[in-house]
Amino acid sequence: MTMEQAIITWIHLVSAAIWVGGSLFIGVVISPLLKTMSTSLEERLQFMIKVGRRFNKIAIPSLIVLIGTGIYNSITFLNKPDLLLSSSYGNFLIVKIILVVALILAYAVHVRIIRKDVEEKIISKQLSDNQIQKLRKKIIILGEVTIILSVAILFMAALLDAGV
Ligand code: HEM
């Protein structure tokens, strides 16, 4: 392995740590903690949106870097479609890429749901309790899907690494 490859793997790993670790921290630490607080649902939702916006500043670049370094890691394989289909490494790589595409879609919807105008509606109390509940449910489900996909992608990375 050359130094260049090691550095690319290192960048891939650091970005994976930021993306997966950060999403899990929000889902497993911040979100349950917030539920125990006696603030209103609107205030909690607003706080989570702020946390999400902050996290996006580092999470989205990490995801982009993961995709860039991931493609770099697999470029020789991606150039050989027959090997992609005939080897287990190639098959795991395809599954990994499909999961990454699903992750990007889930995350894009997740981010789109909490656009600025929606946030403003929450702040100015233009949404009914029912609308807020529905919004919250969608955000929670998409957040969970994001985390599950991310952990599944790590499993694909483990299979690739182990050469199963
Ligand atoms: C959320 C996105 C991603 C996460 C969390 C992730 C995570 C990881 C991790 C933890 C490794 C282990 C490091 C290693 O053994 O080299 C890895 C390796 C790798 N990743 Fe990713 N990755 C992501 C996206 C991608 C994408 C989009 C591609 C390809 C287009 C990709 C291709 C690879 C390849 C080829 C390896 C090397 C596997 C090996 O042979 O050891 N990754 N990834």
Query: Any residues with Cβ below 6 Å from ligand 1, and which?
Result: 9, 12-13, 16, 19-20, 66-67, 70-71, 73-74, 96-97, 100, 103, 150, 153-154, 157, 160-161
Ligand 1 centroid, distance to 157 Cα (angstroms): 5
pLDDT value at residue 145: 97
Residue nearest to atom 20 of ligand 1 (CA): 70
Residue nearest to atom 12 of ligand 1 (CA): 157
pLDDT range class, residue 85, cuts 50, 70, 90: very high
DSSP secondary structure string, 80-129?
Answer: -HHHHHHSHHHHHHHHHHHHHHHHHHHHHHHHHHT-HHHHHHHHTT-S-H
- CA neighbours closer than 13 Å in the CB half-sphere of residue 42: 14
Please state the domain count of the chain: 1
Residue nearest to atom 19 of ligand 1 (CA): 157
Q: Residue 135: pLDDT above 80?
A: yes
Atom of ligand 1 nearest to the CA of 73: 35
User: Residue 38 has what DSSP assignment?
Assistant: -
pLDDT value at residue 1: 72
CA distance 141 to 40: 20
Range(s) of the domain holding residue 66 = 3-162
- 3-state class (DSSP) for residue 57: helix
Give me the percent of the chain exceeding a pLDDT of 70: 100
